[in-house]
Structure 1
Amino acid sequence: MPKSYPTYLTLKDYSVSKEEFQLLHNKELDMLETYPQPEAEKLSEYYKSEDYISHTDTKRNLLEFAYHKVREICLTRKLKLINSFESESKTLLDIGCGTGDFLETALKDNWNISGIEPNENARQISNSKTNNAVFGSEELSNLKPHTFDVITLWHVLEHLPNLEMHTGLFKKLLKPNGTLVIAVPNFKSYDATYYKNFWAAYDVPRHLWHFSKTSISELFKNENMTLVKTLPMKFDPYYVCLLSEKYKSGFMNPFKAFWIGWLSNRKAKRSKEYSSQIYVLKNANS
């Protein structure tokens, strides 16, 4: 058990294995760690589900249809965000790019794009949209240092083993004064507190880490990177609450889910603890 951290919650993998896991609280970083964490060579087994929505373009039901409609809106907002940064040559690396929709959107706006996606099926779909600009995760460490104006991880950091190695690699790949954009769930949000061990955004063991604003700031402070902005992802609690209701009661209960999602956003206006948050970090100019 890592450093004998206290147990924050005990919960299970509702979507694939039904196995139980613990969330251990690293109070120094204000971060939760999934325990036990699957060995690297076995981790892919926990992604083998037809319901893993970010690896497919299917619209088989109302939930998937709504997910893709919301994604279209979010893509526009993500593009607007990266266009707000100063960029020398508009070089973008999207890590964990899924089926490539964000990269495709950036490509159409004249960004020079590259992507990393470990899932072979998702990578094939993304390459069909991006002129083969997406590579497997083994290529991440082979990319040329100080290449990218912007690196994005949209709900990806929580999946990556060896945080220290990856944060150092992001620093290495960014240009001086480059921008790192990270979107992750927030275990301090109202919907997380309400659903507790049924909160779908814990998604153990695929999510190895569970972050707060403090943990993001502290993790990247070690790399001489500064948190300059935090933004809400206001659509996320509605989707998360639908799944959480399914885990809790056996069906999605859309009216209850949307009420809790709305309430979470409303409470976050004061607390600034949204269900998912975007963190914008600036690389030191050195």
Structure 2
Amino acid sequence: MVDAVFHVAPGRWTLWRCAGCEAAYLDPRPNAASIGRAYSRYYTHASEPAKNFLIPGDRPDLRAKRALHLSHYAREYGHRGDEAMPLGWLLFAASPWRRARAGQFIRHVPAPESEPDVLLDVGCGDGGFLRLARALGYAARGIEFDPQAAKLAQAQGFDVFVGGVDDAPLVDCSLAQVTLSHVIEHLHDPVAALARLHAAMRRGGRIWLQTPNIDSHGAQRFGTAWRGLEAPRHLVMFNVASLGAALRRAGFDDVQRMAPQLDAAFYIEQSQEMAQGKDPYAGDRARRRAARSEGKAWDRAALVDPDHAESVTLVAFKR
């Protein structure tokens, strides 16, 4: 494999699959000193966070959509919302597709139990999810390796540590919620990082993780051109079983698989471009429409069989 996404890291790599734990490991693995070059064009480098219809004031044109979702979140996750549409939750009750998408929007985060419950987003980027967590009532904090992205999150008033989990000043038994969205695959020692996060969580605390699924339909179809591999930035690749095993090794209990992220169109479009040696971010409109159509079929299949979705989403608890 080569760096077929951002084309900034010279070299070739092999991905080895462990017959025991089922995880896959990049070889040779970049060390902490050399990996920086691979992130020089990474997409956390944004000028401002994206607008989110769930954050008050961001998208007034989508007020009705927000009211519908707040109704579902109140019933399913215990969130309070004065703007919730009465009986709007019925629309989600009738549609597994809508429930899956709505849960992913908020990373399945329940309402805070007390004031102020602390949510830590590891790999918070420019603070997009921190803004949403704050709107949901959490005291939101972040860890971000990219100083440029962290600076933007800090400018919005968030406490963001620049660096990795190993170096972050975490207070034991203080965190109610921890989220890692497409982060665990970037870590040199995922289990050690999870164990440190476990120590920093209070009893009853919950961790949420999402990562590309090495057992996905796309990985089987596209092989080394699958967008989820992203050598050399993705150091360890997981499936449902291996990610669950990593969480249990780190001390977590009650590992649960969540409804999948319905993101197949992204993986299809970008993998097709990469298979042809093209820039995956330079696809044309026709290919994007075709990928969107095929992606819907893949996503419907993933709702039935999440083990082969493009991403794995798990939650686990500290008991």
Maintained 8 Å contact 1:191/1:199:
yes
Distance in 2, matches of 1:161 and 1:223, equals 15
Distance in 2, matches of 1:240 and 1:213, equals 18
Secondary structure of the residue aligned to 2:109 is helix
Secondary structure of the residue aligned to 2:258 is strand
Distance in 2, matches of 1:87 and 1:276, equals 31
Higher relative strand content: 1
Query: Displacement of 1:87 after TM fit?
Result: 5.9
1:131-210 → structure 2 map (5 Å cutoff): 131-138=157-164, 140-210=167-237
- Structure 1 position 283 matched with structure 2 position 310: no
Query: Displacement of 1:21 after TM fit?
Result: 0.9
- Structure 1 position 263 matched with structure 2 position 262: no
1:47-126 → structure 2 map (5 Å cutoff): 47-49=39-41, 52-57=42-47, 77-79=104-106, 81-84=108-111, 89-126=116-153
Distance in 1, matches of 2:315 and 2:112, equals 10
Query: Displacement of 1:96 after TM fit?
Result: 0.3
Maintained 8 Å contact 2:191/2:247:
no
Percent identity among equivalent residues?
Answer: 21
Distance in 1, matches of 2:103 and 2:44, equals 17
Q: TM-score, normalised on structure 1? A: 0.83
1:22-33 → structure 2 map (5 Å cutoff): 22-33=14-25
Q: Which of 265, 269, 282 is equivalent to 1:242?
A: 269
Distance in 2, matches of 1:194 and 1:101, equals 32
Query: Displacement of 1:206 after TM fit?
Result: 0.5
Secondary structure of the residue aligned to 1:153 is strand
The residue that corresponds to 1:3 in the other structure is none
Greater shift in the superposed pair: 220-229 or 93-102: 220-229
Q: TM-score, normalised on structure 2? A: 0.75
Provide the alpha-carbon RMSD of the alignment.
2.7
Query: Displacement of 1:228 after TM fit?
Result: 3.5
Distance in 1, matches of 2:253 and 2:288, equals 39
Distance in 2, matches of 1:267 and 1:71, equals 28
Deviations 1:84-113 (A, max 9, x none): 575674210100000101101111332111
Query: Displacement of 1:142 after TM fit?
Result: 2.2
1:136 is aligned with what amino acid? V
Query: Displacement of 1:262 after TM fit?
Result: 2.5
2:2 is aligned with what amino acid? K
Deviations 1:8-53 (A, max 9, x none): xxx221122253211100121111111111111111110111xx22
Query: Displacement of 1:242 after TM fit?
Result: 1.9
Maintained 8 Å contact 1:151/1:179:
yes
Distance in 1, matches of 2:54 and 2:27, equals 31
1:209-248 → structure 2 map (5 Å cutoff): 209-248=236-275
Query: Displacement of 1:157 after TM fit?
Result: 0.5
Secondary structure of the residue aligned to 2:171 is coil
Aligned residues: 264
Query: Displacement of 1:214 after TM fit?
Result: 0.5
Secondary structure of the residue aligned to 1:40 is coil
Maintained 8 Å contact 1:75/1:102:
no
Greater shift in the superposed pair: 203-212 or 263-272: 263-272
1:134 is aligned with what amino acid? V
Distance in 1, matches of 2:45 and 2:103, equals 20
Maintained 8 Å contact 2:44/2:146:
no
Higher relative helix content: 1
Distance in 2, matches of 1:254 and 1:282, equals 38
